[in-house]
Amino acid sequence: MSATSTHDGIVYANAKELLAAIEPASGGREISDPATGDIVGRVAEGTVADLDAAVERAKAAQPGWDALGHAERRRLLNAAADAIEANAEALAELLSREQGKPLNGPNARFEVGGAAAWLRAATAYDVDPEVVVDDGETYAVKHYRALGVVGAIGPWNWPMMISIWQLAPSLRMGNTVVLKPSEYTPLSVVALVHVLNQVLPAEVLHVIPGGREVGERVAEHPLIDKIMFTGSTSTGKAIIRSSADTVKRLTMELGGNDAGVVLPDVDAKAIAQDLFWGAFINTGQTCAALKRLYVPEEIYDAVVEALIEVAQQMPMGPGLDEKNVLGPLQNQAQYRIVAELVQDAVDSGAKVLLGANPQSDAAGYFYPTTLIGEIDPNSRLVIEEQFGPALPIIKVKDVEEAIAHANALDVGLGASVWSSDRAKATEVAARLQAGTVWINSHGTIDPRVPFGGAKQSGYGLEFGLDGLKAVAQPQIING
């Protein structure tokens, strides 16, 4: 079977055909599969000059895109979602090979499906003018106008879905977009944009793969009006500094080290699977994953036992093997971080409950599913974001101690409370310093529900109506 054309663009039968459409005719940088080391494909590396040219074209195209109006932009974005769904398997296969995540479970096919769903969600709301005062003397109305060009800088952990989180609301509100993907996973984003641009008007959406200098140029570019960034807190701070001279609008979704607080009334077996996926979705490589779990001593052993039982049933291996639901770390640098933090915990006297013994001769960046118990609350594995398949489970005397530890760090993206008493869980949730607190789940995002961080986990909201307003310029017309 080969690629076929439809009125909504080309449908690619598999990742090989999709790669053939996006790879440079010659040259380019090779991208390797983190599960096998095999070459996935080649990407044309953009330069600062390429970025400048793309921004100029996006700037020129923006007034026409804005002039189409909300109804036509909605139609086109829904057609773009159709194009993603028509190419879902090819996109998922490419994503699995480049990022490493398995096809099944909450992984590659899930991510591609989420990309289409979030694209449609950006069309689901009316962004109407809001009358703020009408008292017979003053009549003031708030409107939401396009900003201009949005520069989006994305991460390597959910490259397709987070790109959609950035581009979908921006386009809906009449902006044009220039994406700079992670150097680790550029093919996924280039392929996604290629599929979308089968439907969207020319010059509305651009992608420029490249290195650090391209990202730095996005942050300082005088023609970029807004930056959306998902990534580490340290990189976010650099972007904030670089953007200051042009006073860009910013949405910053930065690093997290999410805490989970278990209350003594839980049924350990009933929550174990949700606890596991809260921590180990995408093999732990998720900003809002559960990264430190606080459990009262009276139920500690039961929670540990239930988690071990679930974790032992989750197969890890190359993503294209349909049976696997956990994959490798995406890159060697991240593998080393996880291995170092786990070894530091073990050397400090923590107890290995499961895993923590990687095969040194294994192909790919596989780190075994690891549970660490009897660990000091101030261990590096607890207070530093591991971003991988290693969960520290900290024993506490009571819920008050758990809350104190949960709030002790300078990050606060998400948190969770686990209890059979919803009222009590809600009371505890209100005391946790995080942008989102889930009850009896962790990281279950929804395109209708606003999402953003507290403290040094960033600022600005994504998703829902709030997310649309965040990529628009409020304008008050008074009189």
Residues 222 and 297 in one domain: no
Minimum mean pLDDT among 8-22, 26-40, 309-323, 386-400: which range? 8-22
| 451 within domain boundaries | no
429 has pLDDT over 70 = yes
Average pLDDT estimate for 76-82: 98
Residues 86 and 104 in one domain: yes
Per-residue DSSP letter, 458: E
Average pLDDT estimate for 420-444: 98
Residues 13 and 124 in one domain: yes
Runs of H (alpha helix) within 28-156: 48-67, 69-86, 88-99, 108-121
| 211 within domain boundaries | yes
Give the Cα separation of 111 and 84 in Å (integer).
Answer: 11
Q: Domain holding 409: CATH number?
A: 3.40.309.10
Task: State both tokens at 128.
Answer: 């109407």
* Three-state DSSP state, 251: strand
Q: How many domains does the chain have?
A: 2
Q: What percentage of the chain carries pLDDT values higher than 90? A: 96
| 452 within domain boundaries | no
Average pLDDT estimate for 51-55: 98
Residues 243 and 376 in one domain: no
| 417 within domain boundaries | yes
Task: State both tokens at 43.
Answer: 């990407």
Q: Catalytic residue among 93, 111, 203, 287, which?
A: 287
pTM metric for this prediction: 0.96
Residues 434 and 344 in one domain: yes
Q: For residue 9, what pLDDT band results from cuts at 50, 70 and 90? A: confident
CA dist 160 → 218, 322, 383, 422 (Å): 19, 20, 29, 35
Residues 298 and 268 in one domain: yes
| 303 within domain boundaries | yes
* 302: amino acid identity, one letter: A
Residues 270 and 222 in one domain: no
Residues 90 and 180 in one domain: yes
Residues 162 and 96 in one domain: yes
Domain of 358 in residue numbering reads as 258-446
Summarised one tens digit per residue, pLDDT across range 128-179 is 999 999 999 999 999 999 999 999 999 999 999 999 999 999 999 999 999 9
Positive or negative torsion for Cα 344, 349, 352, 357: positive
Task: State both tokens at 183.
Answer: 């150097």
Residue 287 annotated in active site: yes
Closest of 415, 417, 426 to residue 453, by C-alpha? 415
* 333: amino acid identity, one letter: A
Q: Catalytic residue among 93, 98, 183, 253, which?
A: 253
Return the residue matching tokens 């809002």.
288
Residues 163 and 308 in one domain: no
Return the residue matching tokens 């779990």.
293
Closest of 267, 352, 252, 370 to residue 311, by C-alpha? 370
Q: Domain holding 225: CATH number?
A: 3.40.605.10
b/e per residue, 317-329, with b = 16+ CB within 10 A?
bbbbeeebbbbbb
Contact indicator for 363, 335 with CB cutoff of 8 Å: no
Residues 51 and 200 in one domain: yes
Contact indicator for 457, 410 with CB cutoff of 8 Å: no
Q: State residue 2's pLDDT score.
A: 54
What's the gap between Cα 317 and its chain centre? 22
CA dist 415 → 56, 291, 380, 451 (Å): 41, 9, 19, 12
Q: Are strands 436-439 and 414-418 parallel, antiparallel or unpaired?
A: parallel
- Mean pLDDT (the chain) is 97
Q: State residue 1's pLDDT score.
A: 40
| 201 within domain boundaries | yes
Average pLDDT estimate for 95-112: 98
Average pLDDT estimate for 45-65: 98
| 178 within domain boundaries | yes
Residue 253 annotated in active site: yes
Give the Cα separation of 111 and 117 in Å (integer).
Answer: 10
CA dist 413 → 140, 256, 291 (Å): 35, 5, 11
Residues 246 and 266 in one domain: no
DSSP string, 21-48: HHS-SS--EEEE-TTT--EEEEEPPP-H
Q: Report which secondary-structure segment, H or E, holds 404.
A: helix 399-406
CA dist 393 → 122, 312, 372, 402, 409 (Å): 38, 16, 6, 11, 16
| 404 within domain boundaries | yes
Contact indicator for 144, 318 with CB cutoff of 8 Å: no
Contact indicator for 394, 405 with CB cutoff of 8 Å: yes
